Chain A
Amino acid sequence: MSAVLSADDLTIRFGGLTAVDSVSFEVREREVYTIVGPNGAGKTTIFNLISRIYDPTEGRIRFGGADITETPAHRIAGLGIARTFQNIELFEHATVLHNLLVGRHCKSRTNVFEELAFLPKVRRAEYAHREKVEEVIDFLDLQPYREQYIANLPYGVRKVVELARALCTEPKLLLLDEPASGLSVEETENVAFWIDDIKNDLGIAILMVEHDMSLVTEVSDRVMAMNDGKTIAEGTSDEVQNHPDVLRAYLGA
């Protein structure tokens, strides 16, 4: 299987602190690749590097054969990388539908003058966007919330809306930052099913950061453990969990 995303010697320093220290990994097609590690290990920083919010100090990021190390952040979604956020970054004062339609932004090809006049072309594009959005709504069972404002939704639903918004960009690679944090046991189970479906039915590769080890074990094909910005183990979930360095990192032994 070929690599969708590959990171080579990725390093970022903030002042004197090396948050990520020459980390290399690759995510293959139709694979769930999970990064685990204690808080502050640099997991989310890797996400921010891939979605180009931070510039790496050293190293390259390649996506589908192209080097994206210097691509501006707003182009990333168009290339096929979508992400969710640890602390939910939805558009609070807008409806679910509106949020999902923003997810289609990277696919819109109309310019602002055509939109001011709302030419038939814009209307047709709106239909197309809406159809895709409805597919995602059906996929994630969001029908009851379609017209609701995010500010009125419970936390669990917001997590799903964020996942839905990421799917609306029709990604090839999905970055999930702690998809199960703050969710109940049942909701976490749902997440596990969806991750499987996204991988198998939609054929999307997933890069995930997660603390819930049962979820990690259930869905991940490969796992990487990090501590202090460095890779300490890579392999299947069981291999990583029993790796002596991993135990040391978590237990401090």
Chain B
Amino acid sequence: MELIQVLVAGIAQGCVYGLIALGFVLIYKATEQVNFAQGDIMMLGMFAAFTLIAIAGLPWWLGALAGIAITGVFGFCLDAFVLRRIIGQPQFAVIILTIAVGFVFRSAAGGVWGADPVSFDTPYGGLVVTLDENETGRTVIDAADLTIILGTLVLVGALYAFFRFTRIGVAMQASSQNQLAAYYMGIPVKYVISLIWGISAAVSCIAGILLAPKIATFDPDVGFLAITAFAAAVIGGFGSLPGAVLGGLIIGITEQLAQAYLPGEYARSIAPISGFVILLAVLLIRPDGLFAQIQRKKV
């Protein structure tokens, strides 16, 4: 069955969008900052893993873990040294600042690693699971797709447990509800916010590392993927973690279906923008996203 193949690929693609969207939503929930550099942070994470695995020769799992840790620390520092300075300024300033930071990252990555596509080996790269084999051909599922789906499930579960059961996770929820009150209750709000940036960066890095074998090679422009992920976050309501993953899945599956089943010319022109078409449709019906977070200001 070809449909299963398309669906699995779509779900996997959707999981990647969902993970990046998670990164957006984590930061937005805690600070109301919208991080337009999310994709570029993911790109840096991928290159960090590339450096450790393909250049330094570490085993894949070790390189990946180290890459995630480095990206997490990087995210923490990004907030602590740059973003924290403009707390209290309008959302617009944050949008511009993160866009600019993204420019800098992309340019720096181009300087350090060059603009040519690179790749790193994974233990499961190129492997496929054969579902069905007959004279017309084989129905296969890419191992990379399965890893993405599995990885997403584990990560979402871990994040849920973190926010639900750990002290610091609960503190994060508190400061996202009301920063001032959380501060008065003795929660180190600044530290907590930086930590959330760190977690968000680490999550994007995981998304990138899972994605790497699926797209075979990547270059500093890989971060543009996050624009679609951003659409996913908004479809999900931009404030809801499960919503982000759901939004990602909706877009991923639609893209793959459009790619596979629309006639040739339309597939080329519609598949890449299908996520945005869905987004516009959702926003037209619900201007604040599916799960609205905006309340009226009190006067």
Contacts and interface: CB of A to CB of B under 8 A. Distances in A.
Contacts of B299: 44, 48, 53, 85-87, 89
Nearest to B299: A85
Contacts of A86: 299
For chain B, the bracket of interface size reads under 10
Interface in B284-299: 299
The 3 lowest CB-CB distance pairs between A and B, nearest first, are: A85-B299, A89-B299, A86-B299
Nearest to A89: B299
Nearest to A177: B299
Contacts of A48: 299
B292 to A, nearest CB: 15
Interface in A50-95: 53, 85-87, 89
B127 to A, nearest CB: 54
A89 B297 CA distance: 11
Contacts, number: 7
Nearest to A88: B299
Interface in B12-69: none
A44 B299 CA distance: 8
A86 B299 CA distance: 7
A209 B204 CA distance: 52
A10 B2 CA distance: 62
A73 to B, nearest CB: 12
A53 B297 CA distance: 11
Contacts of A44: 299
A53 B299 CA distance: 10
B294 to A, nearest CB: 16
A48 B296 CA distance: 12
A40 to B, nearest CB: 12
Contacts of A85: 299
7 contacts: A44-B299, A48-B299, A53-B299, A85-B299, A86-B299, A87-B299, A89-B299
Contacts of A89: 299
A20 to B, nearest CB: 15
Interface in B251-299: 299
A34 B299 CA distance: 18
A247 B299 CA distance: 27
A89 B298 CA distance: 11
A208 B46 CA distance: 62
A12 to B, nearest CB: 13
A48 to B, nearest CB: 7
A151 B64 CA distance: 50
B88 to A, nearest CB: 14
A13 to B, nearest CB: 16
A23 B100 CA distance: 54
A89 B299 CA distance: 8
B29 to A, nearest CB: 23
A87 B299 CA distance: 7
A48 B299 CA distance: 8
Interface in A89-130: 89
Interface in A15-46: 44
B243 to A, nearest CB: 22
A53 B298 CA distance: 10
B92 to A, nearest CB: 13
A48 B298 CA distance: 10
Nearest to A85: B299
B298 to A, nearest CB: 8
B121 to A, nearest CB: 55
B180 to A, nearest CB: 16
B124 to A, nearest CB: 51
Nearest to A44: B299
A136 B299 CA distance: 24
Nearest to A86: B299
A85 B299 CA distance: 6
